Structure 1
Amino acid sequence: MKPTEFKKRFQSAFGELPDGVDLDLGKFREFPREQVESLQISEKDKSILREVGFPEDAAPFLSFTYNLERMNELQSSLGEEFASFRVFGHNGSGDFISIDEADGSICYHNHDNRMQRIFINSSLSQFAEALCLMAEAIEADYSIDFIGALSDIDSAAWKDRTFWPSEYEMMKE
């Protein structure tokens, strides 16, 4: 999926709002160019951040408000083992969402459980597709095969103790 396709697909998942109603749904934010260029990730993933940015907010309860700082620089109590994590968002509990430059994966760190790393997706591109899929599932009142579609996008994202299984079930309730 090209960056512009990601943005269009994500924004179109919200459907039409009545005239005069603006909820800022699907608003994208840009990241500092020098931070994007310094990332040690694939060009495909960099191009998303470079060309369209990322949604300011997305289901399930995610916000993308950080500027790709190194996790151990944002939180000085964290050691060098957190230097490969570039923070670009947080979940509803305030846990950092980051890109792991060691392998390009997306994860969050559970601050209530000694910064336990929780896998989200194998790459930023796959995370972008998963966010679109979640928005589409919500709009379709969960009638689409989210599990099957997510497995096609990123088979590692549906394993036990990863982000999506519990979040999807919680959103359906």
Structure 2
Amino acid sequence: MILPEEFNDKWDIKNNGPLIKVNSKDLSNLNFSNQLKEFLSVGGIPETPPPYLELTSSEAFLRPITDTFDMPEEFRKYWFLGSNGNGDPICIVEDHEHIVFLNSSDQYKEVFINSSLNQFAECLLSYSLMIDKAIEINGEDAYIDNDIPDSTLNWLRKEIERIDSKSMEDECFWSFEIHNLCES
């Protein structure tokens, strides 16, 4: 699993955008593990990473989703991180710190992304590296045109499987994302 400092060093801010870091004092009273708190304060999370995610630094960031959106109380266990390309909320599940999104077109059904914030960040890093590899091989518009070599997609699939095998199960975010890249 990637360490916060390692992620911070490997994330290419120039090409992939800034990292959001949370002041450790702002995290001290939250009921999260020290590992998660350290990742948020030292490593940070990308603000607008591919694939079309928007992780926000607004007031809504890292609060129970029910404090920001009009949602039933049973959603209080979800802590808001941002949204995916469809506008579905990406959250940390309070009790086990999994990263999920809530599918707004399916009654906010929970869709698994990663087992931890560290693994989520590492998958985002691998996805960004996949884009870089595709561009290197097939030119500047390779990702936009979905002209990604099979070898590069296979590399990404193996990388995400290595990082967090659960994230590649059917009906999970990363499995779906890679499937879409392969089908287009």
What is the TM-score of this pair, normalised by structure 1?
0.84
Measure the CA separation in 2 of the matches of 1:62 and 1:28.
13
Secondary structure at the aligned position of 1:41 is classed as: coil
1:170 Cα deviation from its structure 2 partner: 2.6
Q: Distance in 2 between matches of 1:99 and 1:135?
A: 22
Q: Cα deviation per residue 1:49-104 (whole Å; 9 max; x = unaligned)? A: 1113211110100011142010111112x222111111011111111100001111
**Structure 1 stretch displaced more, 143-152 or 114-123:** 143-152
Paired residue type of 2:68: L
The match for 2:28 among 30, 37, 40 is 37
User: Which of the pair is proportionally richer in helix?
Assistant: 2
1:35, 1:83 → 2: CA distance? 19
Q: Does 1:8 align with 2:1?
A: no
* Structure 2 counterpart of 1:116, from 109, 129, 142: 109
Are the aligned partners of 2:66 and 2:75 in contact in 1 as well (CA < 8 Å)? yes
SS of the equivalent of 1:93 reads: coil
Unaligned runs of 5+ in 2: 135-147
- What secondary structure does 1:38 align onto? coil
2:62 to 58, 68, 71: 68
Equivalence for 2:49: 58
State the 1:154 CA deviation: 0.7
Structure 2 equivalent of residue 17 of structure 1 = none
1:10-67: per-residue Cα shift (whole Å, max 9, x none)?
Answer: 21794xxxxxxxxxx3311233545533333322221111113211110100011142
Name the count of aligned residue pairs: 162
AA in 2 matched with 1:9: K
Aligned counterpart, 1:80: 73
Q: 1:168: Cα distance to partner?
A: 2.1
Q: TM-score, normalised by structure 2?
A: 0.80
Give the distance between the partners of 2:26 and 2:11, measured in 1 at CA. 24
CA RMSD for the aligned pairs?
2.0
- Residue in 2 aligned with 1:20? none
Structure 1: distance between partners of 2:167 and 2:159: 11
Contact 2:27 2:37 in 1 (8 A): yes
Q: Structure 1 regions of 5+ residues with no counterpart?
A: 15-24
Shift of 1:110: 0.9
